[in-house]
Amino acid sequence: RMDQALLLVRNELPAQGLRLAALSGACHQCMYQFLAFVPPSNGSLRNPGMTAVMVDTQHPLALLLNSSVGDREFCKIQYHFGEFGNYSLVVKTLSTSTKTVSCELVINEGPINSYLPILFAFLVYMGILAILIVGHLFMKIDPVRNWVYNKLNPRETDHLINSELGSPNTTDSISSDPTPPLWSTASRQRLRSLDAFRGLSLIIMVFVNYGGGKYWFFKHESWNGKLYFPSALFSRFVFIMGTSISLSLSSMLKRGSSKRKVLGKILWRSFLLILLGIIVVNPNYCLGPLSWDNVRIPGVLQRLGFTYLVVAALELLFTRARAESGTLETPCPALQDILPYWPQWIFILMLEVIWLCLTFLLPVPGCPRGYLGPGGIGDFGNYPNCTGGAAGYIDRLLLGEKHIYQHPSSSVIYQTTMPYDPEGILGTINTIFMAFLGLQAGKIILFYKDQHKQIMSRFVIWSVVTGIISAILTKCSKEEGFIPINKNLWSISYVTTTSCFAFILLLLIYYLVDVKRLWSGAPFFYPGMNSILVYIGHEVFENYFPFKWKMQDSQSHAEHLTQNLTATTLWVIVSYVLYRRRIFWKV
């Protein structure tokens, strides 16, 4: 099967049965798991004991061979098997006098290169990009450009887009300075970099949710670990949501909307996001009525809705017009975009204190205090029912086991049996912190207006600061830090690490799209403009043609990758068509 290899264990030891166990290299502090019993040889090399087992090829494996009687260890082998490979492990006696046993791993049939489909897909998309670049060059020819513009009539679309909330322009500047504003005519347009950032995160999220070609590195980390693509996507979406909050609230208030009216919009939007989230994560299309006993309450949109409510209300409550004008004098110029918002920072720090206290001080029955592990066979199997520690306990206590996610990513490698929700209650605190850091990015854009060097330098500073905090919390290690990086827990180190990269990514896109205008943000700009529609649409129509079809070979990475890339590309096309038709779904 996919991500598996065949291992034939050949036992040439007479009267010695063997026990084969394996340990995944991705499983931290785990116990060896029994795979198979290998019968002894009948004394003839022509009739050895034989057993065939399937072994995992996603991560390196440690194989342990013990005697079935007395637990004598014969050999231990570490090897990274290849997908669809055929291997033999031959166990024999080298010397009858010393009873020395050797274990030799033989490749009977070499594995396939399962990464070639990725290379092929990359070349295809590079070819498409080359065609688009050539088309862009043709657009510089006046007759061609005039004909296309007359057909597509983009001015009306641009007018509609720039009337949407969230574009810092001349009227958004909250300055009492009578001097002419510094915004150029081009700067009056919506910041395309924000939509490109949002769209990039969203499209990769859609690809991953559709399966990511069934490659292991396009899946979420089992527990603690490196930040592969999937682990950082949701956090970047949260980050840019915080940035948009700062710009949109500034736009609404400068257009004369009262705080009460704005608060009403915040409450309504949060309610809709949470409601849509509950509907999306509990599909029952052709399965009959959904039982209320099994409704999953947490989810991505639910967390986005609650985070939006807290961060937007916090910004609305403590917003200070003069602080955003760039003219407010502060005792420390280096902190002039932070000090005016000290009440907000105190609130956020109080939330972090609550998270730390609940995580490390809350007593969890049957678990050590402050436990952050995956449970299951992790930590040598001492705490099998402690998945997520306090975070999992709070969800099970307040929501009930049947109302949270039943198949956490830790269940594969760590073999956890407890339900655990990565979008649970306790982790929402740090999601608020993540959105608040994004809010800070939006304040920097407003505060420094079109002072590009100042904006980009502040992004660099914030990236360095959050990166240093991450290095301290994790001790620059995967498992040995004070607070490891963990997407399931939404640990503080996860937030600071993903924020570090989010500031850098936003800086690069801002520089390319809005400063130098070397890139229009396409094609990610279009789904970024209809992010809620694309996200909900890809969830609802996930199992419908043309986003999914019956495969000829369900064990082929190439077919899965083709299907997932096709579905993702279709959503980009849908968002582009909606953009050209001036259809934008705002919640």
Q: Residue range 148-157: average pLDDT?
A: 62
Q: Residue range 277-303: average pLDDT?
A: 83
Domain boundaries, the chain: 4-109, 192-280+293-319+336-581
Active site residue 220: yes
Alpha helices in 449-587 (DSSP H): 452-474, 492-510, 525-529, 531-540, 557-580
Q: Which residue has the tokens 């339900």?
A: 419
User: Which pLDDT belongs to residue 188?
Assistant: 42
**CA-derived radius of gyration, the chain:** 28
Are the C-beta atoms of residues 427 and 391 closer than 8 Å to each other?
A: yes
Residue range 4-109, CATH number: 2.60.40
Q: What is the pTM of this model?
A: 0.88
Q: Residue range 105-109: average pLDDT?
A: 92
User: Which pLDDT belongs to residue 329?
Assistant: 57
110-132: pLDDT as tens digits: 999 999 999 999 999 999 989 98
**Mean pLDDT in the chain?**
86
Query: What is the DSSP code (8-state) at residue 511?
Result: I
Residue of 28, 59, 159, 220 marked active site: 220
Full strand arrangement of the beta sheet holding 61-67: 33-38, 18-24, 61-67, 73-79
- Residue 161 banded pLDDT, cuts 50, 70, 90: very low
Q: Comparing C-alpha atoms, which of 248, 230, 205 is closest to residue 535?
A: 205
pLDDT(239) > 60: yes
Are the C-beta atoms of residues 372 and 389 closer than 8 Å to each other?
A: yes
pLDDT(6) > 80: yes
pLDDT(288) > 70: no
